[in-house]
């Protein structure tokens, strides 16, 4: 009998271990590969979803761009209440997806309750944000368009399969003087403010250089100097003249902010180095901003005041007393007295008598002595207001005292509430400044002095527009310096108006933008003649905006 070796029996006993080990490794590898596959698949799906989300947003933005293009071709396009079906974004087929957009108008929040859609029979009432039931929209004069973008695969029949969508709302607005604390068309002195009685300058002028077609009807440039602070956005159609001193210059824009500073350029108008500060993200003046054109007249406000407003004729004095006012006129008229109620539509217009205004204004005593203007459409304004109001004049508005409103603190701090004051003159908006012993219309003389009722460090809370002339200080070149002229609001003027002479007379400037003017305005404040619309704000929302 032959015996089997012990070692041989051991190998036969362990013959199934290799198979089990192989099965274990195979199972483990399968599980790992499955987990990796699941992770990669999930990540791929997430990446695909993110890509489709991005494409859908880009498509929605393309819809707004297309609508803006239509507005640029026809500024009244919004009145047609146009919507679009799904439109393929050109050249968007890639990676198996195609992007589409559609857009539609959104009715104004102030649209009539029985007309809650864009109505071609009443486009302004149903689309343009305005006033309804005694309440004013937060964004008057604007309208909104909703654009929805889609990203999807396309079937052989052209059907959008499993679309991913995103929706945005664009608010369209028109250029406004109220977008700026400071606006001018010409950075040169107003022709009416020249010493020469024939309005002929005696030396080369900035106006003549930049506007040769104006001939000899404009004076020299007015400088921005050290100590001048423009605390808000600025726009000028002209080139800014800067005169620095001791290494310091003017400041354009608010510190730490991003105010628009727009002009044709800037140049050094004195012998020292050119020094100025621009407080925005670029630290530079934008020389490519679109032009803004002032209207030729404020006569449309006369039409507005004729219905549910007040119209006065000849010299008128208004003292604001909260939500009433004291009104006196050169001749007996209605709606005068010490407690006159606010006009129903918030608009007052002072017009010239039919016999005409006998005075041709210059800021010097010969025509700035505050007499002889009984027939002129001049209004003298001061006081405190707690309701919205616009005061317009056929000729000049003369500010003969502080004009204030409710603020968050002391004078010079931000106004609060919804009350706003608009001052819109066909000619000048002037700061009252009588002087004594002026030598002549071309010279102050050594004995000239500020009158006792001159305004020291005046405060003006208002949106100011001088349609054909300037915001100016009477007799700005005479008397001792009166401190700082503080304006909280906005100033728009055709020509620069002097408010003083450097270190000698008048006022330093402290102009601060009222940020409420970016979305609201005084009643029926005038807009530029430009009809171009632009996107003021874009907001993303869900599929149902």
Q: What is the mean pLDDT of the chain?
A: 84
Instruction: Looking at the structure, tell me whether residues 260 and 338 fall in a common domain.
Output: yes
Specify if 442 maps to a domain: yes
What per-residue confidence (pLDDT) applies to 214?
A: 41
What per-residue confidence (pLDDT) applies to 219?
A: 54
Instruction: Looking at the structure, tell me whether residues 287 and 337 fall in a common domain.
Output: yes
Specify if 197 maps to a domain: yes
What span, in angstroms and rounded, lies between the C-alpha atoms of 382 and 388? 15
What span, in angstroms and rounded, lies between the C-alpha atoms of 49 and 184? 50
Residue 510 tokens, joined: 């402290």
> What is the total count of domains within the chain?
2
Q: Is the dihedral of CA 282, 284, 285, 288 positive or negative?
A: negative
Specify if 390 maps to a domain: yes
Instruction: Looking at the structure, tell me whether residues 442 and 296 fall in a common domain.
Output: yes
What per-residue confidence (pLDDT) applies to 11?
A: 47
Instruction: Looking at the structure, tell me whether residues 106 and 207 fall in a common domain.
Output: no
Instruction: Looking at the structure, tell me whether residues 161 and 230 fall in a common domain.
Output: no
Specify if 10 maps to a domain: no
Instruction: Looking at the structure, tell me whether residues 165 and 193 fall in a common domain.
Output: no
Instruction: Looking at the structure, tell me whether residues 262 and 302 fall in a common domain.
Output: yes
What span, in angstroms and rounded, lies between the C-alpha atoms of 374 and 353? 9
Instruction: Looking at the structure, tell me whether residues 231 and 374 fall in a common domain.
Output: yes
Range of the domain at 136: 48-174+534-541
Profile the chain (545 residues) by mean pLDDT over runs of 10 residues: 50 62 75 64 59 90 93 87 89 75 91 82 84 61 91 75 89 87 88 55 40 47 84 92 89 88 90 90 88 89 94 98 96 96 96 93 75 95 96 97 93 90 97 90 83 95 96 92 94 91 84 86 85 81 61
Full-model pTM: 0.73
Q: DSSP string of 385-450? A: ESS-EEEEESS-EEEEEEEEE-BSSSTTSPB-SS--EEEEESS-EEE---EES---SS---TT-EE
Specify if 18 maps to a domain: no
Buried/exposed code over 282-305 (b: 16+ C-beta within 10 A; e: otherwise): eeebeeebeebebbeebeebbebb
Instruction: Looking at the structure, tell me whether residues 272 and 375 fall in a common domain.
Output: yes
Instruction: Looking at the structure, tell me whether residues 169 and 278 fall in a common domain.
Output: no
What span, in angstroms and rounded, lies between the C-alpha atoms of 158 and 161? 9
Query: Residue 289 to residues 181, 203, 261, 491, 518: CA-CA distances in angstroms?
Result: 16, 31, 9, 18, 17
Instruction: Looking at the structure, tell me whether residues 381 and 456 fall in a common domain.
Output: yes
Specify if 7 maps to a domain: no
Specify if 524 maps to a domain: no
Instruction: Looking at the structure, tell me whether residues 100 and 205 fall in a common domain.
Output: no
Helices (H), 188-286: 206-210
What span, in angstroms and rounded, lies between the C-alpha atoms of 200 and 136? 47
Specify if 528 maps to a domain: no
Q: Give the largest CA-CA distance in the chain.
A: 153
């Amino acid at each position: 009998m032959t015996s089997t070796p012990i070692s041989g029996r051991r190998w036969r006993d362990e013959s199934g271990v290799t198979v089990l080990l192989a099965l274990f490794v195979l199972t483990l590898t399968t599980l790992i590969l499955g987990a990796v596959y699941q992770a990669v698949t999930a990540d791929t799906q997430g990446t695909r979803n993110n890509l489709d989300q991005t494409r859908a947003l880009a498509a929605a933005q393309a819809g707004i761009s297309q609508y803006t293009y239509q507005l640029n071709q026809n500024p009244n396009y919004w009145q047609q209440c146009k919507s679009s079906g799904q439109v393929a974004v050109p050249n968007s087929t890639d990676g198996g997806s195609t992007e589409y957009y559609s857009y539609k108008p959104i009715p104004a929040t102030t649209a009539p309750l029985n007309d809650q859609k864009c109505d071609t029979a009443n486009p302004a009432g149903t689309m343009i944000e305005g006033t309804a039931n005694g309440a004013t929209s937060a964004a008057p004069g604007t309208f909104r368009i909703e654009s929805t973008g889609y990203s999807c695969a396309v079937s052989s029949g052209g059907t959008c399969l499993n679309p991913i969508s995103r929706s945005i709302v664009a608010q369209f607005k028109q250029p406004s003087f109220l977008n700026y604390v400071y606006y001018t068309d010409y950075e040169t002195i107003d022709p009416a403010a020249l010493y020469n009685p024939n309005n002929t300058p005696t030396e080369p002028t900035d106006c003549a250089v930049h506007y040769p077609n104006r001939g000899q009807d404009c004076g020299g440039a007015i400088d921005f100097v050290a100590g001048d602070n423009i605390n808000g956005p600025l726009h000028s159609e002209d080139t800014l003249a800067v005169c620095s001193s001791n290494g310091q210059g003017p400041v354009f824009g608010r510190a730490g902010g991003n105010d628009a500073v727009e002009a044709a350029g800037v140049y050094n108008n004195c012998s020292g180095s050119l020094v100025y500060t621009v407080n925005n993200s670029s630290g530079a003046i934008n020389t490519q901003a679109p032009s803004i054109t002032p209207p030729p007249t404020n006569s449309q406000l006369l039409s507005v005041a004729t219905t549910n407003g007040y119209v006065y004729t000849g010299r008128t004095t208004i003292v604001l007393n909260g939500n009433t006012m004291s009104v006196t006129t050169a001749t007996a008229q209605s709606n005068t007295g010490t407690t006159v109620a606010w006009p129903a539509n918030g608009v007052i217009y002072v017009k010239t008598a039919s016999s005409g205004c006998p005075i041709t204004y210059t800021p010097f005593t010969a025509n700035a002595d505050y007499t002889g203007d009984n027939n002129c459409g001049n209004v003298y304004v001061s006081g405190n207001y707690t309701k919205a109001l616009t005061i317009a004049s056929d000729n000049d508005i003369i500010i003969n005292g502080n004009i204030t409103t409710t603020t968050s603190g002391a004078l010079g701090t931000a106004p609060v509430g919804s009350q706003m004051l608009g001052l819109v003159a066909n000619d000048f908006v002037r700061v009252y400044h009588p002087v004594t012993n002026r030598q002549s219309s071309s010279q102050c003389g050594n004995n000239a002095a500020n009158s006792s009722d001159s305004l020291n460090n005046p405060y003006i809370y208002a949106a100011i527009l001088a349609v054909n002339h300037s915001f100016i200080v009477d007799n700005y070149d005479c008397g001792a310096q009166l401190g700082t002229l503080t304006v909280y609001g906005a100033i728009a003027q055709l020509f620069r108006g002097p408010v003083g002479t450097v270190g000698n007379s008048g006022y330093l400037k402290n102009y601060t933008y009222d940020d409420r003017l970016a979305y609201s305005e005084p009643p029926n404040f005038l807009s530029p003649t430009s009809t171009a619309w632009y996107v003021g704000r874009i907001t993303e929302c869900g599929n149902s905006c």
